[in-house]
């Protein structure tokens, strides 16, 4: 089987580095291009991230000597994973899609474009069909898909499981978000050490709005938002990786705690049915211990691709409350994008 040639945009950044790690020896995709800003262009990749490689594992050997390019054509690949900063991502991704490249983006710029799916592979695989309405697809075969905000990736997987069985009416969400979610160099150490910052610009709006599109229905060639009310408080906490959310949910249909636990444990999506390479066997893992999940202990369940849930109990205000943990740069960013690409490949949206 010939592998699909792939590139990484924003390859030197936090999410770009995670893409490079996860794509090592991938059965579907082969990395042939690494792209970044002009200051990195022309350097070997290992030189471009010297002193800035922030993943505990070493730089994969395949990537070390690849010459970094600007984020513009010509690029020897069909598929592009974008970890670009939102300050530059929009026009770059749009231009490349217009030239026939398939762009799988972690950036926020195109999440609300009408014909761009806001994807979570287990939650809304049917939304992929909307890319056929993109002008770039009609002209060149190129298109854009996006990930959600990292905070709500795990939350939407849990809500999908509950929605399918009981219906969901309202959600109250409080996030405790790791500092890696701010990128590198991110939050100044004097601001975050021994401190909690109760504000992250734009996060609460994303947490309240993006799940509505992700959980929406695809009908009549468009995505119709889910009818759910969400209220969010977002906080930055002094943890390196892992976003933890406390949520309370009002269901349309009453359910016991035992029923809810069973529904979460049994949840599977299209990636599990297709046995995709990066798909977690158990997309939701339920912990029974009263003090779990914890970032230090549970974050790397299923290689960082699982959503870990615990403290499931009755809520006196709504119906049920729980704690949700997910890895923000794996499940919430690069891993989610790669799983989306695997899903597209398996369904024929990406062809050699």
Q: How many CA atoms lie within 13 A of 342 on its CB side?
A: 25
Q: Active-site residue among 110, 115, 243, 327?
A: 243
Residue identified by tokens 């969010």 is 232
Distance, in Å, from the CA atom of 163 to the CA atom of 262, rounded to the nearest integer, reads 14
Rg of the chain over Cα atoms, rounded to whole angstroms, equals 19
> Residues of 144-162 as b/e, b for ≥16 C-beta within 10 angstroms?
bbbbbbbbbbbbbbbbbbb
Helix (H, G, I), strand (E, B) or coil at 173: strand
Distance, in Å, from the CA atom of 132 to the CA atom of 124, rounded to the nearest integer, reads 16
Distance, in Å, from the CA atom of 5 to the CA atom of 48, rounded to the nearest integer, reads 22
Strand intervals (E) in 204-279: 217-219, 222-224, 229-236, 243-251
Q: Active-site residue among 150, 234, 245, 327?
A: 150
Bridge partners, residue 244, by sequence: 176, 325
273 alpha-carbon distance from chain centroid: 20
> Does residue 327 have an active-site annotation?
no
Distance, in Å, from the CA atom of 174 to the CA atom of 102, rounded to the nearest integer, reads 35
> Does residue 150 have an active-site annotation?
yes
Number of other residues whose CB lies within 10 A of the CB of residue 50 = 11
Distance, in Å, from the CA atom of 80 to the CA atom of 101, rounded to the nearest integer, reads 7
Q: To 5 degrees, how large is the angle CA 276–CA 151–CA 182? A: 110
As annotated, the active-site residues are 150, 243
């Amino acid at each position: 089987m010939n592998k699909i040639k792939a590139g990484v945009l924003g390859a030197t950044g936090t999410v770009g580095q995670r893409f490079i790690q996860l794509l090592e020896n991938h059965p579907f995709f082969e990395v042939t291009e690494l792209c970044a800003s002009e200051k990195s262009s022309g350097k070997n990749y290992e030189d471009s991230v010297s002193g800035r490689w922030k993943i505990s594992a070493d730089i994969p050997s395949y990537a070390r000597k690849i010459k970094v390019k600007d984020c513009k054509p010509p690029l020897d690949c069909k598929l592009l994973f974008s970890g670009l900063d939102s300050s530059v991502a929009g026009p770059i991704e749009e231009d490349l899609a217009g030239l026939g490249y398939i762009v799988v983006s972690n950036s926020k710029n195109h999440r609300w474009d009408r014909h761009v799916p806001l994807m979570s592979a287990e939650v809304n695989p049917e939304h992929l069909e909307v890319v056929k309405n993109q002008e770039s697809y009609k002209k060149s075969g190129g298109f854009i898909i996006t990930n959600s905000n990292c905070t709500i990736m795990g939350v939407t997987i849990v809500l999908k499981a509950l929605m399918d069985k009981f219906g969901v009416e309202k959600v109250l969400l409080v996030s405790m978000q790791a500092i890696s979610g701010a990128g590198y160099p991110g939050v100044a150490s004097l601001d975050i050490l021994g401190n909690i910052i109760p504000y992250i610009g734009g996060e609460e709006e994303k947490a309240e709005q993006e799940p509505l599109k992700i959980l929406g229905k695809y009908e009549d060639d468009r995505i119709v938002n889910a009818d759910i009310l969400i209220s969010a408080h977002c906080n930055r906490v002094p943890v390196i990786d892992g976003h933890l959310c406390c949520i309370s949910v009002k269901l349309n249909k009453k359910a016991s705690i035992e029923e809810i636990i069973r529904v979460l444990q049994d949840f599977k999506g299209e990636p599990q049915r297709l046995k995709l390479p990066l798909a977690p066997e158990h997309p939701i893992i339920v912990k029974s211990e009263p003090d779990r999940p914890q970032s230090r202990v549970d974050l790397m369940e299923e290689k960082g691709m699982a959503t870990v849930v615990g403290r499931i109990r009755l809520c006196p205000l709504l119906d049920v409350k729980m704690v949700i943990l997910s890895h923000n740069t794996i499940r919430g960013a690069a891993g989610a994008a790669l799983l989306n690409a695997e899903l597209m490949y398996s369904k024929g949206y990406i062809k050699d």
